[in-house]
Each structure stands twice: as C-alpha cells, then as structure tokens.
Chain A
Amino acid sequence: MARFEKTSMNGLSACAALIRRDLTLTFRSPGQAINPMAFFLMVATLFPLGIAPDREVLSELAAGVIWIAALLAVLLSLDSLFKSDQDDGALDQLLMSPHPLPLLVLAKVFTHWLTSGFCLTLMAPLLAIMLHLPAEAFSALMVTLLLGTPVLSLAGAIGAALTVKVQRGGVLLTLLSLPLYIPVLIFATGAVNAAMQNMPYSGHILWLSVFLLLGICLAPLAIAGALRVINE
C-alpha cells in the first residue's frame, strides 16, 4: 500500500482550500452575500420612515441603527453557514479531515465574515450618510465594524453549529446568538457615540479587540465541539 508523506501538506493549505471553495461558491451564487447587504440597507431605511426623518433625531440614532441592522444581517446569513454543508454531506468530509477541526472551522468563519461582515462594513458609509451620522464619527463606525463583525461571525457560528440539524432553525439561532452579541453592540455603539461627542474612544476599541481575540481563541473550540456532538 502506497503510504504518502504525512507531512506533505499542513492544515493551512486545507484551510486555504476551504476558503477558496466557499469564496467560489459565493461568487457562483452571489445571493448569499448580496441578500444580507440588501437587508442591511432596507432595515436602515425603515428607521427614518418609522421614527422621523429629522436630521437631529437620526444622527442621534444612527450608530445604534447601523449596528443593529448589521447584527441582524449577519445573523441572517449565519443560518446557512454549516447547514449547506450538512445538506450535501460536505460536513462529513470536514469532520473526517485529519486536520484540526477548530482550524478548519476558523477558516469557514473567516470566509463567512469576508462575505458578510466585511461587505456590510464597506456598505456602512452609505447608511451613515443616509442617517446623517456626523462626519467625525465615520472612522469610529468603520473601525468598530471591522473589529466587531468578526466577533459576530464567531459567536454566531457557535449557534449555527448547534442548530445545524434543526429544521427551520433560523429563529432558534437568533435566540442563541443575540445574548452573545450584546457586549459587542454596547462597546461598538459606545465608541461611535463617543466619537460623535469628540471624546476619545480608544478604550472601546481595545475592548472590542479583546473580544475579537477571545472569540478567535475560544469560539472555534466551541464550534468544533458542537459540530462533532450534533453530527452523531
């Protein structure tokens, strides 16, 4: 039996293959990435219609509205993160891989962030203009979104893994994930609001970075564990 070199490839190249696969899939059916972005825009549009189109009122609410809309858009896209793999059997191949599952899972979450959180971040200035966010808060909004949306993907992926076998698990996923999102929401909007009042917000940014580091270290373990036990 021909034995192959066990060290010929490492986990990172498997991760690269996964990232490439998921990105290709997103390009082939771009709805996965575009629909949450459209949702993001629409939710933000509802607020001026539902509250008031006043410049003052909206600029006061802008940070919260943009962040809550982004959070819901990420949640919406999380539902299919592992479920599509579960449906076509690709998840078994992932679980059968000799590479460390937390690493592979991290690659999947990274791709998810790239196609959801990152795109939302790029779109955020448009919403900020529509909602009259003061110009001095733009950079704070962008930085918090860049640091915060990966945390949303990581924490939400735990819920996505736990609900991978639940039929119509979208609402359940929301129930599981939203409490975990609260700290990110608090510090991110806090930073933007501080920036609006020309106050320093580096403390908020540091805390968001801490959450991101914690998420990168711990969430893949929880996600991998959840995928293993749910798939029995």
Chain B
Amino acid sequence: MLNVVQLSCERDDRLLFSNLSFKLCSGEILQIEGRNGAGKTSLLRIIAGLSSSYAGDLFWNSQPLAKVYADFRLDCFFLGHKPGLKLDLTPLENLAWRSRLANTAVSREGLLAALHRVHLAGYEDIPCSHLSAGQLRRVAFAGLVASQASLWILDEPFTAIDAEGVAWLEGLFDEHASQGGMVLVTSHQSLSNLKGNLRKLRLETFAAEAYIEEAVFEKRGADNGQV
C-alpha cells in the first residue's frame, strides 16, 4: 500500500503542487490528470524515488519510503516517457537485461510468452531499431507483463499506442488490479473501458496559488532554510 501525505514539490522556484495526499491500496488504479507542466511526471518520479526534491511524507506498507527503497524497488515497476530500450538489441535481449536488473528471474520461455501477450510474437530476434515507436512501447509492456511487481508506475503509457492497444492495456490494468496489484498512471486518455477500481486525481486541485507559494517559502525560510 502506498500512502502519500502532504506532499509538495517545487521546481525551479515554482510550486507544482502542495498538500497532496492520497492512498493507493491493492486492487486500485489511480489516474493522475493534469495539464502540461502540472507536475505529473515530477510526482511519479518522486514516488518512484528518482527525485528527492519534495516536502512531505511517503509511506510504503506503513513504512517511511526512504527507509525501504530496496524493498520498494523490488516491488515496483517504473516506466517513464522513454521506453528504456537499447535499439541495437533485440526485444528478447532487452527484456533479459531489464528483468535481471529488476531482480526478476524470468526464463527465455517466460519472456517469449510476455512478447506473445503484447502481440509481438515473431519479433523477438529483430533489432529494436527496426521497430516502430508503438512497437517499442509494447516491448516495454512485455517487461511489465513479465515483472512480478505489485505497483506499476507508468508515465503516459498510451503514447504512440493505437486504439486496439489502448483497450488491451486497459485490460491489462484491470487484470493486474483484480490480482491485487496497484497501478499509478498518468494519462490524457479517459480510460473509459476500465471496469475495476479506477480513481482519478486532478493535480490542478493541489496547484498552489501565488499566496500559498509565498506562505510555503516563508514557512520554510523561517523553519530551517532547508533546500
């Protein structure tokens, strides 16, 4: 279970959001919405532990996240804007190094099955440089299928995906949630086909107005002058 308490994030003297609190329990899908620059990516990177420029508390299974990052990373799959694939390698080789790095022991058969599930069967030995942007995304999703992580953090996963793929991915979310997994996703799509526990969170609700911004600055300056 992920618990976010009173999170605020400041980027280059601009307060992106403040007092953001939410819980993500197993079986839930949370969609983060917001206009461009609202801080969706920043939020995901903070939760994934890639960024530490925030104020507030994060808890993973009731433990402070900063203390259990090693456990958290074992149980978390992060996919950013870029698919994180080496273009000179084949999809199978890419999946192999990624699963090793994520500490998921997956056999060749398992990876092939994952590729089959993302409709890329037959592409396993073709260099990724020959694949289209959408197909590259699908290779990354094969990593998602193969991973045993319970929390999925996906930043704009629907980019470059066709309509059929969107429906398929939504089905995947549903399946993951029904097995007790958690999905944290940013998207401009409406995710209409989801049956499961979909919640939406608009980041603008937590966007700070100028006066709040000042107050936070003031408070921080008076408190301890920390970065």
**Bound-state Cα–Cα, A232 to B51, Å:** 4
| Chain B residue at minimal CB-CB distance from A1 | B180
Within 8 A of B (CB), among A91-113: 92-99, 104
- Whether A89 is near chain B, meaning CB under 8 Å from some CB there, is yes
In the complex formed, the residue of A with least CB distance to B147 is A4
Q: A1-B180, A28-B89 are in contact. Are A98 and B103 (CB under 8 A)?
A: yes
Q: Could you tell me which residues of chain B, from 152 to 197, have a CB within 8 Å of some CB in chain A?
A: 179-181
B14 at the interface (CB under 8 A from A): no
A 1-27 to B, binary, CB cutoff 8 A, 1 in contact else 0: 111101011000110111011001100
Q: Does B219 contact A (CB under 8 A)?
A: no
Q: List 20 A-B contacts (CB under 8 A).
A: A1-B150, A2-B148, A9-B105, A14-B100, A18-B101, A21-B89, A24-B89, A89-B85, A92-B84, A93-B102, A96-B50, A96-B76, A96-B102, A97-B103, A98-B103, A99-B101, A231-B50, A231-B51, A232-B45, A232-B53
Instruction: Report the contact-size class of chain B (Cβ under 8 Å from the partner).
Output: 35 or more
Q: Cα distance A84–B181 when bound, in Å?
A: 32
A89 and B97: CB pair below 8 A? no
Q: How far is the CB of A67 from chain B (nearest CB, A)?
A: 32
**Contact status of A90 and B85, CB under 8 A, knowing A13-B100, A96-B78:** yes
17 additional A-B pairs beyond A14-B100, A94-B101, A97-B102, beta carbons within 8 Å, are: A1-B181, A4-B148, A6-B74, A6-B103, A8-B103, A8-B105, A18-B97, A18-B101, A21-B86, A24-B93, A28-B127, A29-B88, A88-B84, A88-B85, A96-B49, A99-B101, A232-B50
* A1-B26 contact in complex given A6-B74, A98-B74, C-beta closer than 8 Å: yes
Q: Which residues of A contact B88 (CB under 8 A)?
A: 24-25, 28-29
Note all chain A residues with C-beta closer than 8 A to B81: 89
Answer yes or no: B104 CB below 8 A from chain A CBs.
Answer: yes
Is there a chain A Cβ closer than 8 Å to B83's Cβ? yes
If the complex has contacts A4-B105, A98-B102, A104-B101, are A89 and B83 also in contact, measured as CB distance less than 8 A? yes
Q: Indicate if the CB atoms of B74 and A90 lie closer than 8 Å.
A: no
What is B's interface to A at a CB cutoff of 8 Å? 26, 45, 48-53, 70-71, 73-74, 76, 78, 80-89, 93, 96-98, 100-105, 127, 148, 150, 179-181
> A residues touching B (Cβ–Cβ < 8 Å)?
1-4, 6, 8-9, 13-14, 16-18, 20-21, 24-25, 28-29, 87-90, 92-99, 104, 228, 231-232
Is there contact, CB below 8 Å, between A21 and B102?
no
A98 to B197, CA, bound (A): 29
Main secondary structure of the interface of A (DSSP, over half): helix
Contacts of A99 in B (CB 8 A): 101, 103
Q: Are B101 and A14 in contact (CB under 8 A)?
A: yes
Instruction: Report the separation of the CA atoms of residues A232 and B48 in the bound assembly, to the nearest whole angstrom.
Output: 11
User: Of all chain A residues, which has the CB nearest B180?
Assistant: A1
**Which B residues are CB-close (under 8 A) to A88?**
82-87
Cβ–Cβ < 8 Å partners of A2 in chain B = 148
Q: Which residue in A9, A231, A232 is a CB contact (below 8 Å) of B103?
A: A9
**A231 to B85 CA separation, bound complex (whole angstroms):** 18
CB within 8 Å for A90 and B104 given contacts A24-B93, A98-B73, A232-B51 = no
Q: Would you give the shortest CB distance from B83 to chain A, in whole angstroms?
A: 6
Contacts of B71 in A (CB 8 A): 98
User: How near does chain A come to B21, taking the closest CB pair, in angstroms?
Assistant: 22
Q: Give the shortest distance, in Å, between A35 (CB) and chain B (any CB).
A: 16
Ordered nearest first, which 3 A-B pairs have the shortest CB separation? A89-B82, A17-B100, A89-B84
* Other-chain residue from B84, B87, B105, B127 in contact with A93 (beta carbon distance below 8 A): B84
**Distance A186 CA – B43 CA, assembled complex (angstroms):** 48
B86 touches A96 (CB 8 A): no
